[in-house]
Chains A and B, each alone.
Chain A
């Protein structure tokens, strides 16, 4: 099968164009560089932007990790991984964040801190944060150029007036290097601080909207907020103010997904990052602590009800 495709599925010109756009994106942090997103053998909106970045930048001998909603085993991640394995001969894949040179992700940045020698590609459905306040792309480009984000801030103002807090749960508008505001893809608020002064290069690709942008390493990334109403991440405390823990590994410092146990009908919480959860589980076994009730991932008797950011 692989013999009939060039390495990385795309032809050399297509890869060269993506690489050039990527260089421009890195040179102008947060600026959305247009590129001619190619047809891929999957629907636009299924991660074709991230996929084209990965296919253009990945080289032989490198190790790839693909995640979707924090998990390596969800449908999108499995399909993308097998497609890349099929078309890029000589690469390795892994589920361990530590071992990956290259991470393609949807909806999450791994809990494990990334290193300088790693690179993360995020799949983006809607690259422009201004799309909610200005329908014309022409006008949005002017607003970006002049760094006029007052209308986004008005949206935050209206949120605080109506709900006493900023209600954006994901795609939180974030200002990069003091100028351009980006839509950091549907990552939860929890992951937004990881963009700031990140050691790893962060690339964002939107296939349907044909845009590539980047948060280069050691670049300032500030979520939009007011001086006296600061940005805050999700709160995982229960009614008593106790931090909820992952029912599987016991971790109290990770981003948790909420499930309903189909037998008891009770809500249970579990790490969203499956690799992190596995690592915590084995660490707690090594330390002699009791791991959580189930050791399977995902646990079989549980239905996931809250799939954030579909």
Chain B
């Protein structure tokens, strides 16, 4: 299998940081705030590999560091330490050692990101089509009819009526905004997609439709995805492998079925028991 992404010892600390930050935080201390220097250890020692066409789930409660890990990989935040290697078309990219322009290029061309809050992923002052066009224009596509064509076909693929592509996203329902975000993320055909709580806050039928769409896309395009969620249902449906995070640490990882049927860590056991 082709590896798409390799992450080694990724850490992110907010605050000054001190020598004992990592020793005094974590699930065994029941906190991610260092008692010594009050820094927040949002993520520590996160390592995993991701292969082509695979969906990796990252599960955990609010504040467990799952979004932080993904945002570091998408260059929204700068990690404190760690390595991440992205494998693409025979080339390797050491993600955290690229300069800002190279990072932006990768994020625009080869990654896609769908945020929980559409306000983060979409510009609400420009039309839905314009949002999709922006990503294409960043990728040096400068033919107007080609941009229109690709935006139309992706919006119909994500079941947004193409007649509404010239409307502002604020006129759309939450589910539609999320679909526009997915269309925007997919328009450059990225081999790697980050989904951060994409279905949180949507009603159940819309959730189901969005999840269906994500699975279809994964099968059609063989896109590797990292799905961040606190919803066990989403994990069960989408993810082949899962990491469970708590207080910034990965406390359990493995095949999703195994984790959900036979959780080893006490926290995971409680999580699974409370949800199912």
Contact = CB atoms under 8 A, between A and B. Distances in A.
B138 interface: yes
Given A154-B126, A158-B130, A142 B143 contact: no
A161 B138 contact: no
B129 interface: yes
Nearest to A158: B130
Question: Per DSSP, are chain A's interface residues mostly helix, strand or loop, or mixed?
Answer: helix
A150 B130 contact: no
A150 B137 contact: yes
Given A148-B104, A148-B138, A151-B134, A158 B144 contact: no
B101 A161 contact: no
A161 B133 CA distance: 11
A157 interface: yes
Contacts of A142: 100
A: contact size bracket:
10 to 19
A250 B133 CA distance: 45
A62 B101 CA distance: 45
A146 B101 contact: yes
A283 interface: no
A162 B130 CA distance: 11
A245 to B, nearest CB: 34
Nearest to A142: B100
A158 B127 contact: yes
A130 to B, nearest CB: 14
A161 B166 contact: yes
Contacts of A161: 127, 129-130, 166
A142 B99 CA distance: 12
Interface string B113-152: 0000000000100110110011001100011111100000
B147 to A, nearest CB: 7
A157 B129 CA distance: 9
B166 A153 contact: no
B142 A154 contact: no
Nearest to A153: B137
A146 B100 contact: yes
A228 B137 contact: no
A146 B134 CA distance: 16
A285 interface: no
B134 A150 contact: yes
A75 interface: no
A117 interface: no
Interface string A140-170: 0010011010110110011011100000000
B109 to A, nearest CB: 12
| Residue of A146, A151, A153 most packed against chain B (CB within 10 A) | A153
Given A148-B104, A161-B129, A154 B134 contact: yes
B169 to A, nearest CB: 13
A229 interface: yes
B144 A150 contact: no
A157 B170 CA distance: 19
A142 to B, nearest CB: 7
B142 A157 contact: no
Contact of B142 (A145, A153, A158): A153
A227 interface: yes
B143 A227 contact: yes
A154 B123 CA distance: 11
A226 B136 CA distance: 12
A161 B131 CA distance: 13
B143 to A, nearest CB: 4
Nearest to B105: A146
A146 B138 CA distance: 11
A157 B147 CA distance: 9
B144 A157 contact: yes
Interface of A: 142, 145-146, 148, 150-151, 153-154, 157-158, 160-162, 226-229
21 contacts: A142-B100, A146-B100, A146-B101, A146-B104, A148-B104, A150-B138, A153-B137, A153-B142, A154-B123, A154-B130, A154-B134, A158-B130, A160-B144, A161-B127, A161-B129, A226-B142, A226-B143, A226-B147, A227-B143, A227-B144, A229-B144
Given A158-B126, A227-B142, 20 more contacts: A142-B100, A145-B101, A148-B138, A150-B137, A150-B138, A153-B137, A154-B126, A154-B130, A154-B134, A154-B137, A157-B130, A157-B144, A158-B127, A160-B144, A161-B130, A161-B166, A162-B166, A226-B143, A228-B143, A229-B144
